[in-house]
Amino acid sequence: MTFRATILTLYPEMFPGHLGHSLAGKAMERGQWSLETVQIRDFAEDKHRSVDDTPAGGGAGMVLKPDVLACAIDSVADDTRPRLLMSPRGRPLTQERVRELGLGDGVVVVCGRFEGVDQRVIEARGLEEVSIGDYILSGGEPAALTLLDAVVRILPGVMGNAASGTHESFETGLLEHPHYTRPQEFEGRAIPPVLTSGNHAAIEKWRQAQALALTKERRPDLLVPKAQPVTK
């Protein structure tokens, strides 16, 4: 099954970007995933091909018009793929959500621009708002590339070693442990002796301890138990 990504954007030339290289690029060549872009401006009907207008109620910037964006979304084949809107106010993208997306047929991703997207088209077309972090980008395109990067790399057969994707930060709820390789000593810093001991049980215990310590130091929020859904 080919994972299909459709990107709605005002800047289709930004794709596939870095995804045309390395693991993702080779996977695309093998047909493991595909990428198509839809130019939102093609669905503007006025002579100026306008895609935005001033915000209702006043304020700075411009807002993507709902009618134009809705037509662009409707031009995409009607299927079961989730419709995502890259937005700083969306739910944070997590590795768990990445894996859920990777199990599906693909995604339809809307790249916002300007001050945002008219709320009515978000509701009418069932767009799921997704954020890649607490900061503002110039548009949704870099965020869409990031999302696709995260999903494509975990598709079956993309990584040479399938285990590589299961021993990384967030996969186990912790940040990843430190890594070392030859030379044995670098600028007076040696590889921790346990890693060259050949004792696999001790190595695994050390890695777990390091992962926990790093998580406590840098991302203690990951250690807070998630609220369980209320059942009746």
Check residue 23 and give its pLDDT: 96
Check residue 173 and give its pLDDT: 86
Neighbours of 90 (CB within 10 A): 17
> Which comes out higher in pLDDT, residue 162 or 98?
98
In the CATH scheme, what architecture does the domain 3-152 have?
3-Layer(aba) Sandwich (3.40)
As a whole number, mean pLDDT of residues 112-124 equals 95
- Tell me the pLDDT of the chain averaged across its residues: 93
Q: What is the DSSP letter of 17?
A: G
- The top-level CATH class assigned to 167-223 is mainly alpha
Distance (Å, rounded) from C-alpha 147 to C-alpha 140? 10
Structural contact between residues 35 and 8, judged by C-beta atoms closer than 8 angstroms: no
Confidence band (pLDDT; 50, 70, 90) for 1? confident
Check residue 95 and give its pLDDT: 96
35-48: pLDDT as tens digits: 999 999 999 998 89
Check residue 170 and give its pLDDT: 66
Check residue 78 and give its pLDDT: 78
As a whole number, mean pLDDT of residues 177-192 equals 96
Distance (Å, rounded) from C-alpha 93 to C-alpha 86? 10
Q: From start to end of the chain, where are the E strands? A: 3-9, 33-39, 52-53, 63-64, 83-92, 106-111, 128-131, 185-186, 189-190
Q: Quickly list DSSP for 79-122.
A: -S--EEEEEEEEEEP-HHHHHHHHTSSEEEEEE--TT-B-HHHH
List the chain domain ranges: 3-152, 167-223
42-89: pLDDT as tens digits: 999 988 999 999 999 999 999 999 999 999 999 998 788 999 999 999
Listed in sequence order, the residues at least 6 apart from 193 whose beta carbon sits closer than 8 Å to its beta carbon are none
Single pTM value for the model: 0.89
One-letter amino acid identity for 51?
V
DSSP-assigned beta bridge partners for residue 9 = 39
As a whole number, mean pLDDT of residues 217-227 equals 90
How far CA 188 is from CA of 162, 183, 184, 185, in Å, comes to: 34, 11, 10, 6
Assigned token pair, 36: 């198509």
